[in-house]
Amino acid sequence: MNLCTLSALELATRIQARELSSVEATQYFLSRIAETEQHIHAFTHLAEGALDRAEQIDSRLKSGEQLSPLAGVPIAIKDVLCTIGDRTTCGSRMLSEYRPPYMATAVQKLVDAGLVIVGKTNMDEFAMGGSTESSYLGPTRNPWDVQRTPGGSSGGAAASLAAGMCSLSIGSDTGGSVRQPAAFCGVCGLKPTYGRISRYGLVAFASSLDQVGPLAHHVQDLAACMAIMAGHDNRDSTSLAAEVPDYLAELGRPLKGLKVGIIREQVEHAALEAEVRDAVSHTQRMLEELGASILEIDFPHQEYAVPTYYLVAPCEASSNLSRYDGVHYGYRELGDASAESPLDAMISRSRSRGFGPEVKRRIMLGTFALSAGYYDAYYKKALQVRRLITQDYHRAFQDVDLLLGPVTPTPAYPLGEKLDDPVQMYLGDLFTVGANLAGLPAISVPAGFTSEGLPVAVQLQAPALEESRLLNAAFQLQQAGLFTPQVAEPPAT
């Protein structure tokens, strides 16, 4: 039986019907990992005791216990989410040996729901990047073309699915890190509304933008995962108290009468490659056939999205990452003992050696933009433009229910291509950062392949807390054949 593209819900149903056990399902994916991981490097490390946990789930099911609709399903977790009894590296030397004394709320909820963690996935260092090349543990490769990037920062999460190494995957999205790798690897990825899922135990990059999000081959699996992870958490004061809808039950509503906006500044953008634009037009026609109407929308502040994000995010990062001082957490290297201040020398050396170049660049950018004399010109200005971008969305959502557009300007590019040119790397985020700046939910949906055989995708964005609307539209597109879940086979050795 091929479990790779079976939906996680269907897999759980079979486990619950005792057609196969969670142990068998876990073994299946572990053997896929054993075959494929050497080519892809999707994981920072595998979880200890996955088969034991699967066995526990099997015996709980056997004893008649009612577990969640995803119980027994093998899942991969991005290595930015704290897991107890295991390392959480954030793809950084700084945390390469860090063993958190607590579990992230989102992960705890998945464990409580009976999901089986198979491993922690690779990522750009501290989630800063769009190609998974800044990981201290080395890059992840795109299963559809191992010479290319899987995207990032949740590159391992997306690649692990595309290579058939797990049934579900959890990432995080600060400026596109769930949606962009999902797009590059041909899987679905959802960034929920800011505050919809607790950030407790999600290692902070930019706290006003960070959000946990699921990736899967099937839209209904994202819905099932959201139902488990969403909700208020006393341990995260920014988590929302709003009731959690029954995301699964809300799939299947007809799209007749739905108003979908296309952002003119996005589809006409000079950087947008033709095959990605074609995917958006194709999806637009499908939505029309499903009964939706299309409206053109203006987004006057689109061109400021990337510069605004690349001020706000580094400013917050410079503050968040000040905790890695060689004393409280992580990597420590003693400095020159004869230095005037051996303590300063230790902090300086620990940070110099513990962080990679991209993280240092962000810390320096953020520290500069927050410093006296520059704060008003940079950080404060960025906050003002952030408000204008949010207003563009509010204005759009007075006229339409959803926005349709590209996720990325291009499909996956070759490894190394943008490594020496950070600005080019940053410009790849031009269609994704808006949803984070405005705190809105957005989904990346596969939309076929380019002539070169690389996945392309489209993005849908919705007003705050309207994840159901996004999931439903994506589900209807999936049902109508916009994409078929597929797994890339590893290259022959």
Binding site for ligand GLN (CB under 6 A): 127-130, 153, 173-177, 205, 313, 429
Q: Where are the beta strands (DSSP E) in 367-467?
A: 402-406, 442-449, 455-461
SS3 label, residue 458: strand
Smallest gap from Cβ 174 to ligand GLN, in A, equals 4
Give the Å distances, CA to CA, from 102 to 81, 92, 262, 467: 10, 19, 43, 28
- Specify the amino acid at residue 354: G
Name the 3-class secondary structure at 86: coil
Cβ distance to ligand GLN smaller for residue 175 or 330: 175
Q: Which of 78, 120, 191, 418 is catalytic?
A: 78
Cis peptide before 153 (omega within 30 of 0): yes
Residue 125 identity? E
CB of 179 to ligand GLN, least distance (A): 9
CB of 407 to ligand GLN, least distance (A): 12
Residue 193 and residue 465 in contact, taking contact as beta carbons nearer than 8 Å: yes
Is 259 among the catalytic positions?
Answer: no
Residue whose tokens read 């006057």: 300
Q: Which is nearer to ligand GLN, 153 or 320 (CB)?
A: 153
CA–CA distances in Å: residue 355 to residues 85, 93, 433? 24, 7, 24
Backbone torsions φ then ψ of 61, nearest 5 degrees:
-65, -40
Is 36 or 135 the residue whose CB approaches ligand GLN more closely?
Answer: 135
Nearest to 117 by CA among 51, 215, 28: 51
Q: Is 153 labeled as catalytic in the residue annotation?
A: yes
Euclidean distance between CA atoms 488 and 213, whole angstroms: 23
DSSP string for 290-311: TT-EEEEE--TTGGGHHHHHHH
Q: How far is the CB of 128 from ligand GLN (least distance, A)?
A: 5
Active site residue 78: yes
Q: CA triplet 75, 76, 79: central angle to 5 degrees? A: 150
Of 7, 92, 134, 153, the catalytic one is 153
Structure tokens at 161: 């699915």
Q: How far is the CB of 111 from ligand GLN (least distance, A)?
A: 23
The residue (of 32 and 179) whose beta carbon lies closer to ligand GLN is 179
Catalytic pick among 7, 177, 350, 468:
177
* Closer residue to ligand GLN, CB minimum distance, 184 or 205: 205
In the complex, the smallest distance separating the C-beta of residue 308 from ligand GLN, rounded to whole angstroms, is: 12
Of 164 and 176, CB closest to ligand GLN: 176
Residue nearest to ligand GLN (CB): 177
Q: How far is the CB of 434 from ligand GLN (least distance, A)?
A: 12
Judged by DSSP in three states, 26 sits in helix
Of 245, 244, 247, whose CA–CA distance to 232 is shortest? 244
* DSSP output for 237-275: TTS--SPPP-TTTTTT---TT-EEEEEHHHHT-TT--HH
Task: Rank residues 174 and 444 by Cβ distance to ligand GLN and give the closer one.
Answer: 174
Catalytic residue annotation: 78, 153, 177
